């Protein structure tokens, strides 16, 4: 009995918005005052229902480019062949575990697969707690580690944000090592070490509770914190403090991993450390729901308490085929080196622009993960939040998609698909220059 999927109506933006209001999660916000209806993606571009091309500078999920043909073909072929769970033997999962672990220092050789970055951070916590037999966790201020109940408890971005219930007692928040806005600035060569000293307070607070720290979570470049590059020496010193207190160190590479940082495949490498656990998500499957955890064999072994970690979907042959294709494309197209080249060009152009536009307070980043912080005053650092939003709307009118982040929502966050080209970068710099001229 042949069947075929029923055609999906082509609705107007207004009708879609009305149906969202009626049938979808009402807490889900849309991008832009006038949301866009996108119907197609290719490379660094999204196309709306009228065929207009938008340059996508905000999507670090479609990592190797929207609908990359190699990734699409790998997913299509495996979907038609087999999609089942990991209780059977399959080539794809072991090939993927081997290939993924080969991108890490040799110590990090054991892979756990999940369906999202949230599930990866959740699993990392279970592993850390089991290994350390401890309960408390140290996180960095303004961090976001996921949308599950456990990760919201761990994310100052959420628990201190709108609707948040504040810091839970088993979580300690370390000062954000922001060397533009924080206590220690760029001109201090020891800023990283000074910021890391704040972990002593967190550890002392945990001990005062009669508890021990299980883990120190830190994104390798801070995302929701405002695209903040960690000052030199921060992770080395912070990891030393955490390890001395018995905690494991977890690098959250959900936003910045897989070559985006340019100089390194994993952004933690720039800090000269080897984490105990690394978590991955967003770019890992170019949009396909996937996540992963990698850790040391001795930590993985300690997790063998008799309680299995089985995940119905994770590690299935389709997800692994897609994950493998993403790794292939990054390598074959030299996307890490490309991110370095285009990222350096953007950083240079933005720093030049800073000389002419007082709104630009700070330019920072690594590879294709860049933040441009807008301020009204270079002494007080008063956030130029409305101006940042005006930039976003100006760029939208010129069909460039960008968004803001940071505690004051005044940081332009650049994290385009990795195929973002030098021409794309030039176009963006020209339009940003226009936007800043018009707004200031």
Tell me which residues in 97-126 interact with a copy of itself (CB under 8 A).
97-98, 101, 109-113, 115-119, 122-123, 125-126
H/E element, 431: helix 422-439
Alpha-carbon distance of 213 to 202, in angstroms, equals: 9
Of the two residues 112 and 195, which places its CB atom closer to a copy of itself in the complex? Answer: 112
Q: Quick check: 63 and 283 in contact, CB under 8 A?
A: yes
Alpha-carbon distance of 56 to 402, in angstroms, equals: 7
Site string for a copy of itself, 366-405 (x = CB under 8 A): ----------------------------------------
Site string for a copy of itself, 167-206 (x = CB under 8 A): ----------------------------------------
**Polymer length of the chain:** 440
The candidate with the shortest Cα–Cα distance to 350, out of 256, 439, 433, is 433
Alpha-carbon distance of 75 to 85, in angstroms, equals: 16
Q: Quick check: 321 and 290 in contact, CB under 8 A?
A: no
Among 106, 208, 307, 379, binds a copy of itself (CB under 8 A): 307
Tell me which residues in 1-40 interact with a copy of itself (CB under 8 A).
1, 3-6, 8-11, 13, 15-17, 19-20, 22-31, 35-40
Of the two residues 323 and 349, which places its CB atom closer to a copy of itself in the complex? Answer: 323
Tell me which residues in 353-372 interact with a copy of itself (CB under 8 A).
none
Considering the rule CB under 8 A, would residue 95 count as an interface residue with a copy of itself? yes
Tell me which residues in 154-173 interact with a copy of itself (CB under 8 A).
158, 161-164
Considering the rule CB under 8 A, would residue 337 count as an interface residue with a copy of itself? no
Considering the rule CB under 8 A, would residue 89 count as an interface residue with a copy of itself? yes
Q: Quick check: 216 and 249 in contact, CB under 8 A?
A: yes
Sequence-distant (6+) residues with CB within 8 A of 426 are none
Tell me which residues in 421-440 interact with a copy of itself (CB under 8 A).
none
Among 44, 55, 63, 66, binds a copy of itself (CB under 8 A): 66
In terms of DSSP H, where are the helices of 145-285?
Answer: 149-153, 156-159, 191-196, 198-208, 234-244
Rg from Cα positions in the chain: 22
Considering the rule CB under 8 A, would residue 138 count as an interface residue with a copy of itself? no
Alpha-carbon distance of 343 to 366, in angstroms, equals: 7
Considering the rule CB under 8 A, would residue 310 count as an interface residue with a copy of itself? yes
Of the two residues 164 and 189, which places its CB atom closer to a copy of itself in the complex? Answer: 164
**The one segment of 150-158, 178-186, 267-275, 373-381 that binds a copy of itself by CB under 8 A:** 150-158
Q: Extract the tokens encoding 193.
A: 């070490």
Q: What number of chain residues touch a copy of itself (CB under 8 A)?
A: 122
The candidate with the shortest Cα–Cα distance to 226, out of 402, 380, 377, 413, is 413
Q: Extract the tokens encoding 285.
A: 């499957």
**The one segment of 58-66, 166-174, 366-374, 388-396 that binds a copy of itself by CB under 8 A:** 58-66
Sequence-distant (6+) residues with CB within 8 A of 139 are 145, 154, 155, 156, 171, 172, 173, 174, 216, 217, 218
Q: Quick check: 222 and 230 in contact, CB under 8 A?
A: yes
Among 156, 225, 259, 281, binds a copy of itself (CB under 8 A): 281
H/E element, 267: none
Of the two residues 31 and 437, which places its CB atom closer to a copy of itself in the complex? Answer: 31
**The one segment of 145-153, 183-191, 227-235, 430-438 that binds a copy of itself by CB under 8 A:** 145-153
């Amino acid at each position: 009995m042949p069947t075929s999927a029923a055609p999906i109506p082509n609705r107007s933006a207004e009708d879609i918005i009305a149906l969202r209001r009626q049938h979808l999660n009402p807490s889900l916000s849309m991008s832009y005052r006038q949301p866009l209806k996108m119907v197609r993606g290719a490379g660094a571009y999204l196309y709306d229902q009228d065929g207009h091309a938008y340059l996508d500078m905000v999507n670090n999920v479609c990592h190797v480019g929207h609908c990359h043909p190699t990734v699409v073909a790998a997913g299509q072929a495996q979907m038609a062949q087999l999609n089942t769970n990991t209780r059977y033997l399959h080539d794809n999962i072991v090939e993927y575990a081997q290939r993924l672990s080969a991108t890490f220092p040799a110590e990090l050789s054991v892979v756990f697969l999940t369906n999202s970055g949230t599930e990866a951070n959740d699993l990392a916590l279970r592993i850390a707690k089991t290994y350390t037999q401890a309960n408390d966790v140290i996180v960095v201020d303004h961090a976001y580690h996921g949308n599950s109940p456990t990760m919201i408890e761990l994310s100052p971005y959420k628990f201190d944000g709108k609707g948040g219930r504040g810091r839970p007692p088993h979580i300690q928040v370390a000062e954000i090592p922001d060397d533009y806005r924080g206590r220690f600035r760029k001109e201090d060569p020891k800023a990283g070490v000074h910021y890391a000293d704040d972990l002593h307070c967190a550890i002392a607070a945990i001990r005062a509770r009669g508890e021990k720290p299980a883990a120190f979570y830190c994104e390798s470049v801070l995302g929701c914190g405002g695209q903040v590059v960690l000052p030199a020496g921060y992770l080395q010193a912070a990891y030393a403090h955490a390890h001395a207190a018995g905690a494991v160190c977890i690098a959250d590479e959900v936003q910045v991993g897989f070559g985006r940082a340019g100089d390194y495949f994993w952004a933690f490498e720039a800090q000269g450390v080897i984490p105990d656990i690394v978590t991955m998500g967003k770019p890992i499957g170019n949009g396909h729901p996937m996540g992963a955890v990698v850790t040391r064999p001795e930590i993985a072994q300690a997790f063998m308490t008799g309680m299995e970690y089985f995940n119905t979907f994770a590690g299935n042959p389709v997800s692994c085929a897609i994950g493998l294709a993403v790794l292939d494309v990054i390598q074959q197209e030299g996307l890490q080196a490309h991110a370095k080249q285009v990222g350096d060009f953007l950083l240079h152009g933005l720093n030049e622009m800073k000389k002419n536009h007082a709104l630009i307070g700070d330019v920072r980043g690594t590879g294709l993960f860049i933040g441009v912080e807008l301020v009204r005053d270079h002494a007080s650092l008063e956030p130029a939040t409305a101006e940042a939003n005006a930039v976003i709307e100006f760029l939208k009118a010129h069909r460039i998609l960008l968004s803001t982040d940071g505690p004051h929502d005044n940081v332009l966050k650049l994290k385009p698909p990795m195929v973002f080209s030098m021409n794309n970068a030039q176009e963006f710099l020209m339009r940003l220059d226009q936007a800043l001229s018009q707004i200031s």
